[in-house]
């Protein structure tokens, strides 16, 4: 019979937020290894995008950035950019919307509202 030891029971499990943050951090590190100053370039693009759009998803920002911001090895790197934009007060999460990427199976993603809007 396989019984759990006391040590197995007491081990804290990583939270979803912690695992998300670790994944985002790894994705940004990899993007920086491939494209020097990737995060700064992406953050600059986000600022300009948010200045000209009321509401949007990360997917919309990513699609508009093609050809301007180098594509990171993992699209998760964009999560860091959006979270940083939120911490700076440029954007605010207001809800969720369905993504259009077929590989994402119409899952939900954050909808963002700009706080620096010039539209």
CA-wise closest residue to 22 among 30, 34, 11 = 30
Mean pLDDT of the chain: 87
Residue 112 — φ and ψ, nearest 5°? Answer: -115, 150
Question: What's the rounded mean pLDDT across residues 107-119?
Answer: 83
- The pTM assigned to this predicted structure is 0.80
CA-wise closest residue to 63 among 73, 47, 78 = 78
Domains of the chain: 17-114 (1.10.10)
**Whole-angstrom Cα distance, residue 118 to residue 96?**
23
pLDDT of residue 42: 98
* pLDDT tens-digit readout, 31-69: 999 999 999 999 999 999 999 999 999 999 999 999 999
**Whole-angstrom Cα distance, residue 119 to residue 113?**
12
């Amino acid at each position: 019979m396989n019984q759990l030891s006391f040590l197995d029971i007491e081990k804290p499990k990583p939270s979803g937020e912690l695992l998300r943050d670790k994944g985002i951090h790894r994705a940004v590190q990899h993007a920086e290894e491939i494209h020097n100053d990737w995060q700064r370039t992406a953050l600059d693009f986000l600022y300009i995008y948010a200045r000209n759009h009321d509401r949007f998803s990360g997917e919309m920002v990513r699609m508009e950035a093609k050809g301007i911001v180098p594509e990171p090895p993992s699209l998760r790197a964009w999560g860091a950019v959006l979270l940083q934009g939120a911490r700076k007060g440029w954007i605010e999460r207001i809800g969720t919307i369905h993504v259009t990427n077929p590989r994402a199976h119409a899952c939900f993603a954050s909808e963002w509202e700009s706080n620096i809007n010039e539209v």
